[in-house]
Structure 1
Amino acid sequence: MDGLLLQYPWLNELLMGFLDLSWQHVVMWGVGALLIFLAVRYDYEPALLLPIGFGAILANIPHSSAVSVEADAVGFLITLYNAGIANELFPVLIFIAIGAMCDFAPLIRNPKVMLFAAAAQFGIFATAIGATFLGFSFPHAASIGIIGAADGPTTIYVAARYAVELLGPLSVAAYCYMSLVPVIQPPVIRAITTANERKIKMGFEGEEPVSSTTKFLFPLMIVLIAGIVAPISVALIGALMFGNLLKESGVVDNLSNCAQSELANLVTLLLGITIGGTMTAERFLTFNVLLIMALGAVAFVFDTVGGVLFAKLLNLFSTKKVNPMIGACGISAFPMSGRVIAKMALKEDPTNFIIQHAIGVNVAGQVASVVAGGLVLALIPALMK
């Protein structure tokens, strides 16, 4: 065969895809196909897992022009990566879209729910510490811990800055665990609560209207406070609150609607396929990736546990008991986590409606996860000195 290729050089150009195909490439095709299957068959974060899966297939075709790094023929996935991931643009644009979709009125009305959301970020820091003991560098360990917040854009933003080579598996883990909230959270909650605790009723609280002025000033105040505490978080929290400001201003409905639909859809599409393009066999098929997937699950579970245990702790000192399950809603998976917890309460007692409280904590989790990401960004360079 080698002699034939030497005699007819054009054959090498024609057959190089077959000649350089390895079992690792085939495995990655399977990984990409699995992500597409989960998106289509089970509706697991389809807007992201489907593009990621397809991008992974494109990146693992031998000599794929989609990921070419030759100066005269740079692949489009490499171009998108340099234009949107390497400079952290895509995650920031996603935050603008998310902010435009968020209604922070439940958080403004009941600020104490931020305590539950803060407690639900425990898994981030616990997992980061654990990952360092397993041999990961602190920047990598912190990036792994962020998975626990169930906040894909924050995970991508932190990874793009401090764990570029782990971007693919970190992103896949974050979005997979987000989509698995209905599978992961219920058994974890049942394991650390009693039936009586899950049946605690929290009466409906009259929702006093939040003035438009308050809702308009809220994003401005959050940006100033978070920016002063952790300036490195301004890009994250600033983009989130800018999107919300567009919505609450009431004078740029076209921009707000664009952020919620066209911008969100376009950036999600480009972000997904670009992340998939980073999932090459040599990066993905490693023992560290298995550890990342396992540690991501640990982070997610610990975040759930942290929120629930904090609620149980409050009950020890409070005459007005809270249903500890709402503590699990402090992650960023909104409104999925709030709905899952509300359904669990109804299953325990068909007359127990805690959806109002669960969604309130879940909204707070949106802000808390971004703030936690900002703290991680601030801590990494400080601890590396």
Structure 2
Amino acid sequence: MFHHLVRMALARTIILLAASSAAQLAQAESFKVSPAQLQALGIQLQTLENPAPIAGLAYPARVVLPPAQEVVLSAPLGGSIDQLLVTENELVKTGQPLVRLVSPELGELQLRLAEAASRSRLAQQTLVREQALFSEGIIPERRIQESQAAASEARIRQTQAESALRLSGADAGMIRRVAQGGAMQDALLLYARSPGIVTRIDAKPGQRVQPAEALLRVADTRKLWLDVQIPVARQSQVAPKGAILEGVDRKLLAKVVGFGPIVSDSQTVTLRSEVTKGAEQVRVGEALQVRVPFSATGGWAVPVSSVVRQDNDAFLFVRTPEGFTATRVTVQAGAGQSLFVVGELRPGQQIAVSSVIALKAAWLGKGGSN
């Protein structure tokens, strides 16, 4: 019985000691600092805003033209280059003439259309005449049906001839003139199908070219990509799809599209993003630096100088009416002079961002760990 009472007394003592120790540790989180001490130590405060991601580390990037943004102008017919109407790096507009091509095939296509259009007009005239004769009872209905079939066949042949000339690069005005019996042209003008910049010219004046041979390239630089090289070890830390990247020394914004599937020999992976602002300030192939935000969200961006370490924990000193409270936080990432932390913080609270070593000494002297 005596031993049982002793054990019960020891248990109560341990519980009381543990409760007392916990209360002391809770009290040790807060400590007093008078306004005079605050001024004497030169402690500066910073107000916490709403939680937001901090700008991440800077990584190298290269400006890339999406494949769909480059148009290759090729020769629709065999012939010779009569004249180049643009130069490399020249800005062009939609519908602007680029190349004048002389081709014997162009004459043949125009002749075919002229003959088909003539037969179609004749067939239509015959149909009108036959309809008049049939209405007077002079000819049988079979003659009308034959004339209708002939007119329909002639229209189809004309449409086919117009399509062939259109595929050769002829514009609507040229096709209409030929079909109406106007003068034929001995040269073909090739036009820009979209605005952009002439990035490369493969042909020269007087050169003989074959059908489908590339003549020049026009790049529409209104839409560009950035290929950012990220170390594989950092891939899980950087921004997810849809995040916004910022240029380091350019007023440039880009939206993350995703990671490439291949790791390079230098152990980097490509983070592709689409430029949403500032595309006019960069050129295709240009190398630059962009800042990639971290993937963590819902935390606080604080200066490096505001965080103190004690044992294996990190703390911020949050201002109170009587002094400060050492608030435990978790550091998730860092970039430059900023840290991304998560903890029991609220917008509007003030934290110490200077002389935190002095505050740590005061805190530990109050009852914190040594």
TM-score scaled by length of structure 1: 0.19
More helix by share: 1
Decide which structure has the larger Cα Rg and report it.
2
More strand by share: 2
